[in-house]
Amino acid sequence: MSNNTVSLHRVIKTSPEKLYRAFTDATAMAAWLPPYGFLCTVHEMKAETGGSYRMSFTNFSTGNSHSFGGKFLELKPNEFLKYTDKFDDPNLPGEMLTTVSLRKTIAGTEIKITQEGIPAVIPVEMCYLGWQESLEKLAKLVEPEIPDAP
């Protein structure tokens, strides 16, 4: 087990409700979570306390993929998520713990993410880079207000 931890903080111009939905909807997760150059397949997702998920990221250039899954430990709608991540690859051992806090502000929603226990073989800088790309994609998903067609 590693003590590698990343912490991210952003304000995204949207509601806590939309951000929370982006973390609990399988189609949304597949759209924003994988860093650039990766595709995501969500194999299962039951976003509730005690529920679980499984997904895989595929490198679009090489076709190689890695799968992982975890459990939802705590969910407070539109405010908080805590879940585990565990890679299927035995070369990436240990269980990571991710916490996501959402707070409405005058400018949008403050989001704080902490991911702990990142396997030692994964450079922390690569995790930061991946999360930064994912959060950029997340903002592009949740910030637009697109009305339904008549």
For the chain, the domains span 4-142
Q: Give 94-144 pLDDT, tens digit per residue.
A: 899 999 999 999 999 999 999 999 998 889 999 999 999 999 999 999 999
Is 91's pLDDT higher than 90?
no
What's the pLDDT score for residue 150? 82
The reported pTM is: 0.93
Q: What value does the mean pLDDT of the chain take?
A: 95
Q: Give 8-32 pLDDT, tens digit per residue.
A: 999 999 999 999 999 999 999 999 9
Cβ atoms of 78 and 20 within 8 Å: the answer is: yes
What's the pLDDT score for residue 149? 84
- Token pair 């190689």 in the structure block, residue: 64
Cβ atoms of 111 and 141 within 8 Å: the answer is: no
4-142: CATH number: 3.30.530.20
Is 79's pLDDT higher than 60?
yes
CA distances from 46 to 72, 74, 98 (A): 8, 12, 16
Angle, CA of 108, 104 and 17, to the nearest 5°: 85
Give the confidence band of 92 by pLDDT, cuts at 50, 70, 90: confident
